[in-house]
Amino acid sequence: MENSSVEKNSETQKYLPLGISGLGGWLVLVQIGLYATLLLLFVQFFNTTIPAFSPDIWGVLTDKQSAVYDPLWAPALVYEALYNVLMFAFCIYCLINLYSKKTIFPRLMIIGYSSGLIFGIIDYVLITQIPLANELEDGSLMRSILRAALSCAIWIPYLLKSERVHNTFVR
């Protein structure tokens, strides 16, 4: 047999993966992470993003006559809102590919974990350039960056090396 990772089933004429496969094992944590990310993005959108774009808050932050004005407020708020909306859609796309067991799913997750880390770093640099935001920053941005880096360090190698991942995402 040329490829030792598959076995031909003569009754169905399909190639079945040898070894572990399916959405169990550590992939359960990946699924939970996707759902948790969707939930957190949804909550953040209604608790933070929408209020930030209300005329009162947006006006105070972006009016040059305001005491808290900084030219970076508008780009920072738009950047965060755009990222959150795109990440929400991306998570849904990932879930569709996960349950369809598409071969692209591991690459999508690697892109998702990496973009989360890159977003966090850019957001941190942007926010720390705004004096008021920098004063109010309580370390949560740095914790988010560390969490994203830890996620990358754990899940990217798993997605690249796991036998279960390799045998599950074959369509």
- Which residue's entry shows tokens 């996707």? 34
| Domain range for 152 | 37-166
pTM comes to: 0.85
**In the chain, count of helices (H) and strands (E)?**
8, 2
User: Among residues 132, 88, 128, 130, which one has the least CA distance to residue 112?
Assistant: 88
pLDDT for 12 equals 47
Q: Rg of the Cα trace of the chain? A: 21
Question: Does residue 126 lie in a domain region?
Answer: yes
CB 119 within 8 A of CB 108: no
- pLDDT, averaged per 10 consecutive residues of the chain (171 residues), comes to 46 61 95 98 96 96 95 96 97 98 98 98 96 92 97 98 96 89
Question: Does residue 105 lie in a domain region?
Answer: yes
Question: Does residue 66 lie in a domain region?
Answer: yes
Question: Does residue 29 lie in a domain region?
Answer: no
The DSSP code sequence of 33-86 is HHHHHHHHHHHHIIIIIHHHTSHHHHHHHH-TTSTT--TTHHHHHHHHHHHHHH
Question: Does residue 124 lie in a domain region?
Answer: yes
Domain count, the chain: 1
pLDDT for 19 equals 83
Question: Does residue 122 lie in a domain region?
Answer: yes
